[in-house]
């Protein structure tokens, strides 16, 4: 994650956070919620968008958090979200987020009992492509994992080896 999030005030853990003007007007809980929702590496990043805000604010101890925060901060909330997203530009992870959003939409529609004709068509088209979508998503996940996993440096021994003889 880009910023450390703990039980402490976010400004204690990230002492330079106020160098970003868009973050200054927001309180601790608002910043934590935005970071937990939008950060690619957040523990909530795999949660469906529909329930992600609820789970984040429940974790932060504020059940009605999103509505309260958006009312309190209005445009400042949107500015902070936009700024945070601009800090984490990563094409592959953006694509992965799009795949996850698409799959979440499909699952929600599949659960829906009374679908419109347009929704039925969308589900049918997506179902036909599901195998390719899941394959492509997995390949993208592998690529990101491989790219983001540090490789241990090769250690060479200075001792002679019996194999070298």
Say if residue 15's pLDDT is above 70. yes
**118-130 residue pLDDT tens:** 999 999 999 999 9
Instruction: For 10, list phi and psi in degrees, rounded to 5.
Output: -60, -30
Say if residue 158's pLDDT is above 70. no
Share of the chain above pLDDT 90, in %: 36
Taking the C-alpha atoms of residue 38 and residue 1, their distance in angstroms, rounded to an integer, is 10
* 101 close to 38: Cβ distance less than 8 angstroms: no
CB crowding 63-80: b at 16 or more within 10 Å, else e? eebbeebeeebeebbebb
Nearest CA-CA partner of 66 in 49, 83, 82: 49
Average pLDDT across the chain, whole number: 85
End-to-end CA distance of the chain: 49
- Report the predicted TM-score, pTM, of the whole model to 2 decimal places: 0.66
3: confidence class by pLDDT, cuts 50, 70, 90: confident
**86-138 residue pLDDT tens:** 888 778 888 888 888 888 888 888 999 999 999 999 999 999 999 999 999 99
């Amino acid at each position: 994650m880009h910023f450390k999030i703990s039980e402490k005030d976010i400004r204690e853990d990230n002492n330079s956070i106020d160098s970003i003007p868009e973050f200054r007007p927001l309180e601790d809980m608002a910043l934590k919620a935005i970071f937990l929702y939008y950060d690619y590496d957040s523990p909530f990043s795999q949660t469906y968008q529909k329930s992600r805000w609820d789970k984040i604010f429940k974790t932060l101890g504020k059940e009605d958090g999103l509505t309260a925060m958006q009312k309190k901060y209005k445009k400042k909330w949107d500015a902070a979200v936009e700024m945070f997203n601009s800090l984490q530009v990563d094409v592959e992870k953006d694509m992965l987020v799009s795949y996850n959003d698409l799959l979440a939409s499909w699952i929600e529609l599949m659960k829906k009992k009374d679908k419109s004709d347009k929704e039925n068509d969308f589900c049918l088209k997506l179902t036909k492509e599901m195998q390719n979508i899941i394959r492509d998503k997995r390949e993208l996940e592998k690529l990101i994992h491989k790219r983001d996993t540090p490789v241990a440096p090769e250690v060479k021994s200075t001792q002679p080896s019996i194999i070298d003889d």
